[in-house]
């Protein structure tokens, strides 16, 4: 069963959200991994890459269907795919059980692509690469429920956080506030999420951080998530 249609409004406003990246799970035991961490998760993050837009090749609709059967938590599908296949990919992942589909600000025909996601009954998001102006999401603000800022190069695991990441989050947070959208728009930090970077990302304005090994490889997940929840935003 998927979450409620208004699920972004039901997530806590008063703490940092934990978005678990299934790229860092043991994919050979995906169902068991979801069962293991589910109580700690606010959102699942599912990276999808076609080997062209991004150098990696990641996740398939059938795997999202497995996730949907194991959890009622929101499934956020991040599409890193070329324009030529983007509409078909959106439809396939919608059919597989996604709750939110994010496309890249660097994709073409964003208005129609975001409208397609809405027509399929899902929430939409935009992802911005490091070289893309933070303001790129503003024309689409009323069509999206999440803005994700990448803090590392696209599609490569294990990189260090770029030095611009904090300032970009601060700028995005202010832009969202200035636009005053009619619904909640979450601001996510993705890439370079480590114990030493999370506090600063939260202070810079992140509502959610996309956690990979920081979550799945934790020796004490309960304590790790309590620490994430305790991170304070800018006062």
Q: What is the pLDDT of residue 157?
A: 73
Mean pLDDT throughout 56-66? Answer: 92
pLDDT at 235 over 70: no
Mean pLDDT throughout 156-169? Answer: 91
Q: Is 183 helix (H, G, I), strand (E, B) or coil?
A: coil
Distances in Å between the alpha carbon of 222 and those of 100, 134, 196, 218? 26, 34, 18, 9
Q: Show the 3-state SS of 4-68.
A: CCCHHHHCCCCCCEEEEEHHHCCHHHHHHHHHHHHHHCCEEEEEEEECCCCCCEECCHHHHHHHH
pLDDT at 109 over 70: yes
178-208 pLDDT, tens digit per residue, is 999 999 999 999 999 999 999 999 999 999 9
Specify whether 190 is catalytic: yes
- The residue annotated as part of the active site, out of 47, 50, 99, 207, is 47
Determine how β-strand 208-211 pairs with β-strand 123-128. unpaired
pLDDT above 90 as % of the chain: 91
For residues 170 and 156, the model is more confident at 170
What mean pLDDT value characterizes the chain? 95
Q: What is the pLDDT of residue 94?
A: 98
Mean pLDDT throughout 22-45? Answer: 96
Distance between CA 166 and CA 199 in Å, rounded? 11
- The residue annotated as part of the active site, out of 42, 50, 99, 190, is 190
In the chain, what are the helix, strand and coil shares in percent, each to the nearest 5? 45, 20, 35
């Amino acid at each position: 069963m998927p979450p409620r249609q208004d699920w972004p409004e039901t997530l806590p406003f008063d703490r940092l959200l934990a978005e678990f990246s299934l790229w860092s799970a043991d994919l050979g035991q995906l169902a068991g991994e979801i069962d293991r961490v589910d109580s700690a998760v606010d959102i699942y993050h599912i990276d999808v890459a076609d080997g062209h837009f991004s150098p990696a090749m990641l996740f398939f609709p059938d795997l999202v269907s497995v996730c949907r059967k194991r959890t009622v938590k929101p499934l956020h599908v991040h599409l890193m795919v070329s324009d030529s296949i983007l509409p078909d990919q959106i439809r396939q992942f919608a059919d597989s059980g996604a709750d939110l589909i994010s496309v890249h600000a660097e994709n073409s025909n964003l208005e129609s692509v975001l409208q397609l996601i809405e027509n399929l009954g899902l929430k939409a998001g935009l992802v911005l690469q490091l070289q893309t102006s933070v303001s790129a999401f503003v024309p689409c603000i009323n069509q999206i429920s999440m803005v994700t800022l990448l803090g590392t190069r696209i599609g490569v695991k294990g990189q260090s956080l770029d030095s611009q990441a904090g300032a970009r989050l601060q700028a995005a947070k202010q832009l969202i506030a200035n636009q005053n959208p009619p619904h909640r728009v979450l601001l996510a930090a993705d890439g370079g999420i480590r114990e030493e970077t999370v506090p600063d990302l939260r202070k810079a304005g992140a509502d959610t951080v996309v956690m990979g090994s920081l979550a799945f490889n934790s020796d004490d997940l309960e304590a790790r998530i309590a620490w994430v929840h305790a991170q304070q935003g800018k006062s």
